[in-house]
A and B are shown apart, each in its own frame.
Chain A
Amino acid sequence: MFQYAWRGVRYNKGRYIATLVAIITGVAFFTATGFLSDRVIDSLEGSVDREFGSVDVAVVVDADADAVGSDFAADLRISGDDADQIIAADGVDAGAGVLTGSVAFLGDDGKTFADDAVGRLWIEDDELNPLDLEDGVAPAGEGEIAVDRGIAESNDLEVGSSVTVLTLAGQFDATVVGITKFGSADSIDGTGTVSIPAESAFDWLSSGQVEFEDVYLRGSVDQAELQSTIEPLVPAGFMAQTGDEYREDQQAFAAGVGKALKRGLQAFALLAMLVGGFVIYNTFSVIVAQRLRELAVLAAIGATPKQLKRSLRYEGLVIGILGSAMGVLAGLALTYLLIFVLKLSGVELPGGGIKVSGTTVLQGMVIGALITFLSVMIPARRAARTEPMEALRQAAVETGTLSRNRAIAAGALSGLGALGMLFGGSAAVGFGMVALFAGVIVGGPFIAAGVSRLLRPLLSRLGLEGRLATDNTARNPQRTATTANALLIGVFLVTLVTVAGTSIKDFAVGEINKLSSADYTLESTGGSIDDDLVADLEAIDGVAEVIPFRSEAVTIDGNPSALSTGDISSLTEVADIDISEGSLDDLGPSKVAVIDVPDSGHVVGSTVTLADISGETVELEVVALISFSLDTLTVGNVVDMQTFDSFVGDTAPTKAFVKLVSGAQTDTQDAIEDLTNLRPDIILTHGNELGELFGTLFDFLINAVNGLLLMSVLIALIGIVNTLSLSILERRRELGLLRVIGMVDKQVRRMVRLESVLIASQGTVTGLLLGMFTGAALIFSIGRLSDADISISLPGYQLLMVLVLGIGLGFLASIIPAHRSTHLEVLEAIGAN
């Protein structure tokens, strides 16, 4: 008898273990994401203060990120003269222009290293300079540079090392005179920093032109006062911000990534906890059913319904608090584990250590305890309704009857939801989605009963155990549904994300590919596309034509844009440049073809004002409007050579389109890349690259989101294990009898496995269908409401994987319960002695 009691205790412990694991997993996930994101946010915000701490006024590009033309804004520069004027203004103690450009090093073996490092003009003013010298001296004079600690360590550079620097303007020999660091980090730039003194910086980074991206000022007067002094001196396309405003913007921008990450991750963690709620609810429902006799005895000897309810709630609360506290600890461990795993896979998170914020700990505790408490509410109410009479009845399996109200609610919710999604406005689509989902959850027991009825003939063919397995799922449809619903949530979201995401991806990639036509686009940042390069490129087998053109950042009627000129007929031939109004043939002196920006008021015959970085302006007459496309984004507005020369000057070409012969091989691409790799200033863009990039980005997002959703699927798995284990406990006698009269253990285990797979299949298939419908309806409605020609993509392979995974998990979940089903000796099971 002792052994029997001991086994009972063990089973009871199992009940709470499942509940605890569900809570711990959810809370741990929640707090770990909080800890990690806080560390990243802190570090990003902190580096902003380090970088711009002393700035009182910043002169920066006035770019409205949403405006058309913001792509051009980053190219705008402040001329050296303007910068000098600004720095010379009253109240300015010191000023510093910022200039950056790509650099790399050429090793003795002919291979490049520290590719994509950022070359930075060394800022003389100690306070404005974000970098500190760790070793050596500040670079000063031609041929001297400083490199950051990271570059130095990974390439064995030290003070005194001689290096060959690859820059926009070519190769230069230089000596490392200093090693820099940025706060506690190596570098201000993710790819490494090379500091270059003013003597070389303009030649190396901007073709010899003295110009800056931003100008930072330190003053002896109040920030606002300094700002108003500077404002009149700021060139078109730029604005003056006080240091505080600027830092705030930069912090918002820097931390924005971290905060969005945190919100996103915690949303998934909440979802995982919600799924955990289903598991807890189910566990307590079963516990109440099994304790019915005990509760009824309590009721008989005078426990009020309130007291019964309270006892269950206390139990829930205790387990909730205990689980949440353990979850926070597990979260801490998980954080270290994640950092370690990321480090192993080569990802170094910014910042150091873990920031254990009270808010995150408190949130995790409160949410974990609350979800447990709420999940226990309904089972507790059921406990309160226990009649003393029930003590006298034979303890039976908890049976549930399906009420008509439930049927009506489920039908109404899902029907209205589906209608709203298919025919409603955008708000109705959103509400419809929620209503449909709620309807399916509420209607879960009907699905459970229906699925079991439907599959019974099929599974009966597998023998009695198949038949009994289907019957067991129908025995208490509510419990089956709650278990399956936990899995359904995860599968539904995975399917929805996959279907909607893939549809949107296919649409976006298709649209992008439609826009582009040149095979490659070359763009030199700071250097030029010289004749030698053009000749080298054209010599590559498979390259049909290289069309270089001259381009310059300008503002058009105050908006950032680009102005280009070149062999216009060749350009239109190679690139996707469509004229929506007028003709490029009409170009001539003081004439311009402008990009057809909506609402700009540009028409053929109107006059536009262009300004270059020096502030010089010119008025041109519009003779043609160019339709918007990827290539026109590269080209910008077009004038003839003469007009360009007189306005911009006799500059070298900085951009080029490359056309390949049809059917060119990957060898061609490799040859082009080999050539452009030697020129750090040149950015090579594949015509389809943007499309590919977007495709990859979408795939990454879809996979990342699905990976996070797996968390909830795992918790659902715990739910299935738990429900089955408890069911087996309840049916101990029944299983015992089957074994007494001749069911061999293998058959018993098979029965349990089938039941598990059935429950998992119900959750998976329902979730899959619901997700597919919701995803398809969502895409259909996006198309319907926006007139976009967006079609529904059902990625068969991925969806099949989800199905296999779901059912496979069901099988996995049955391992422990199946083992337990035959664990007891027959006699103990049947309770004969």
Chain B
Amino acid sequence: MNTDVALAAAARSVDAVKTYGEGDAAVHALAGVSVEFPTERFTAIMGPSGSGKSTLMQCVAGLDRLTSGQAFIGDTELSTLSKTDLTLLRRDRLGFIFQQYNLIPTLSSRENIILPLTLAGRDPDEDWFNEIVATVRMGDRLENLPSQLSGGQQQRVAVARALVPRPDIIFADEPTGALDSHAGTEILTFMRHAVDETGQTIVMVTHDPRAASFADNVLFLADGLIIDEMANPTTDRVLDRMKKFES
């Protein structure tokens, strides 16, 4: 891993502030966060509940708007975009993986995987599609409906859906939160593999130190601010760092 090479940011925020409520009741979910998510890297965002880690991801991913400050995908400043343009940006340049697998129940695995392309009216690159399907080992379940798949299988479909359009950046929100440790490891391995082998950029929000250990870099958030950072993390080191914050 070439951590010493300066990499362009796939996404970044500048003085990101997100406030809920007004006056005395105001809660600062983000209290001025400036951060860069480098390309071809796997970044994990950690922090206790209410630390603002999900809010940060949502604002950078164009799912929510900042109260002040700026968020960029590449060179695109998100606050300048209309609602529809934001949607199109997500469709064409971003991928998403959620805790609840969030597949469309009436579509088969194949149809779910190519859904973003279908929405954009594009045809999938067959070789690429086959490669990804083979990677997530779903080749024999492509015609099944989500209700006929296990939780782990559904999440593998969701990972494939995020990877197939070759997005600039994939945002994953607790992707292993609903899975057992074996299925969770599988998913994290696929994500790691995508970064290493195909240069995919991934940003993942998690509270699981083991999941964070798959990342290149871990950001620690508390009370809406980045309080620490860790490169080449391991489960134990992350766990130690977390304990330190709590004490």
Contact = CB atoms under 8 A, between A and B. Distances in A.
* Interface of chain A: mostly helix, strand, loop or mixed: helix
Contacts of B54: 832-833
Contact of B102 (A397, A745, A830): A830
A385 to B, nearest CB: 21
Contact of A827 (B64, B87, B90): B64
Given A397-B105, A738-B104, A833-B54, 15 more contacts: A463-B121, A464-B115, A464-B119, A472-B106, A474-B106, A738-B119, A739-B87, A741-B95, A741-B116, A741-B119, A741-B161, A831-B100, A832-B54, A832-B63, A832-B98
Interface in B83-105: 83-84, 87-88, 90-92, 95-96, 98, 100, 102-105
Contacts of A826: 63
Contact of B106 (A468, A747, A830): A468
A475 B105 contact: yes
A742 B105 contact: no
Interface of B: 54-55, 58, 63-64, 83-84, 87-88, 90-92, 95-96, 98, 100, 102-107, 115-116, 118-121, 147, 161, 173
A740 interface: yes
A788 interface: no
A389 interface: no
26 contacts: A396-B105, A464-B115, A464-B118, A468-B104, A468-B106, A468-B107, A475-B106, A734-B104, A738-B104, A739-B87, A741-B91, A741-B95, A741-B116, A741-B119, A742-B88, A742-B120, A743-B91, A743-B119, A745-B84, A826-B63, A827-B58, A830-B98, A830-B102, A832-B58, A832-B63, A833-B55
A472 B105 CA distance: 10
Contacts of B96: 740-741
Contacts of A833: 54-55, 58
Of all A-B residue pairs in the complex, the 5 with the closest CB atoms, nearest first, are A742-B91, A471-B106, A737-B102, A742-B119, A744-B87
* Interface of chain B: mostly helix, strand, loop or mixed: helix
Contacts of B118: 464
Interface in A588-632: none
A466 to B, nearest CB: 11
Interface string A396-412: 11000000000000000
Nearest to B121: A463
Contacts of A827: 58, 63-64
A1 to B, nearest CB: 10
A831 to B, nearest CB: 8
Given A827-B64, A830-B98, A832-B173, A742 B58 contact: no
B83 A745 contact: yes
Contacts of A475: 105-106
Most chain A CB within a 10 A radius of its CB, from B87, B92, B115: B87
A305 B60 CA distance: 49
Most chain B CB within a 10 A radius of its CB, from A396, A741, A746, A831: A741
A516 to B, nearest CB: 64
A733 interface: yes
A738 B95 CA distance: 12
Interface string A709-751: 0000000000000000000000001100111111111110000
A475 B146 CA distance: 13
Interface in A28-86: none
B87 A733 contact: no
Contacts of A738: 104, 115, 119
B88 A744 contact: yes
B98 to A, nearest CB: 7
A733 B100 contact: yes
B21 to A, nearest CB: 10
Contact of A741 (B90, B100, B147): B90
A471 B107 contact: yes
Contacts of B92: 742
B64 A734 contact: no
A832 B55 CA distance: 10
Contacts of B106: 468, 471-472, 474-475
A464 B119 CA distance: 7
Given A472-B106, A832-B54, A832-B98, A740 B64 contact: no
Contacts of B83: 745
Contacts of A745: 83-84, 87
B88 A741 contact: no
Contacts of A740: 63, 90, 96
Interface string A126-154: 00000000000000000000000000000
A742 B107 contact: no
Contacts of B64: 825, 827
A400 B160 CA distance: 30
Contacts of B90: 740-742
A624 B116 CA distance: 91
A826 to B, nearest CB: 6
Nearest to A741: B116
Nearest to B29: A833
B174 to A, nearest CB: 9
